[in-house]
Structure 1
Amino acid sequence: MAYQLIQLAVQPTDNIACPHCQQQVIDWAEEQYIQPCEHTLFIAMDIGFEYITDEFETTMRRNVDDLHANDDQVIMLDELKAAAFDHYVIYQSDLGIEGYSRYIGFTA
């Protein structure tokens, strides 16, 4: 398995830090709350991407445009887990909408 899935026990409005550099990659104190660091591969929700590196996108089965165009048929976690990227960690947290999650990928 190239990835590790870690389910975070945080509230939807909690900040989330990079496990490597401790930068807040989700920082609700900032107007632009998405603050990816050099270790962040993607920030996604079940309804689409908020951020993704080209490096990670090229390892996915489908590109982001295709996923967004067919978002009613996409299971985001399955798409992220199927990527051929070597060794990454997926943090999963509650999005605050019942049944929806946020996924943050970091280099391992």
Structure 2
Amino acid sequence: MPFQLITLENSQENVTCPHCRHPVIDWNEEQYLQPCEHTLFIAMDLGFEYISDAFEQTMQRSVDEIHQHDDQGLNIFNELSQSTYADYIIFKTSLGAVGAQEIYRYIGFNA
């Protein structure tokens, strides 16, 4: 497995880059998603919020292809984990439930 998975317990926790300490998710800001140069992706089980070109090129399907076929059911974590990117970190946090399904956010950084 080319990635390390870190599960965050608090869904309202700010997320800072492990390299430059930039606040990538800062709930105190109106524009709370602010990727830095080390951010590979920010995604939810509902789709992608941000993805770097370098990471998208290592995925089996492009973000456009994934979103075009979302009627077949999205499995964003599966899409992310099948990337051939050499070494990366995924922060995973629960956003709560929508119906019977738990929704997660995934933030990826260079390792």
Alignment of 1:1-108 (within 5 A): 1-10=1-10, 12-72=11-71, 73-98=73-98, 99-108=102-111
Give secondary structure in 2 for the equivalent of 1:100. strand
After superposition, the C-alpha distances for 1:46-94 in whole angstroms (9 at most, x for unaligned) are 0001100000001001100111122242211011000000000111011
**Alignment RMSD (CA, Å):** 1.2
Instruction: Report how many aligned residue pairs link the two structures.
Output: 107
| Greater strand fraction, Structure 1 or Structure 2 | 2
**Residue type of the alignment partner of 2:49:** E
TM-score by length of 1: 0.92
Distance 2:109 2:29 in 1: 21
> Deviating runs (4+, > 3 A) in structure 1?
none
Unaligned runs of 5+ in 2: none
Unaligned runs of 5+ in 1: none
User: How far did residue 96 of structure 1 move?
Assistant: 3.0
Identity between Structure 1 and Structure 2 (%): 54
TM-score by length of 2: 0.90
After superposition, the C-alpha distances for 1:15-67 in whole angstroms (9 at most, x for unaligned) are 11111111110111222111111110000000001100000001001100111
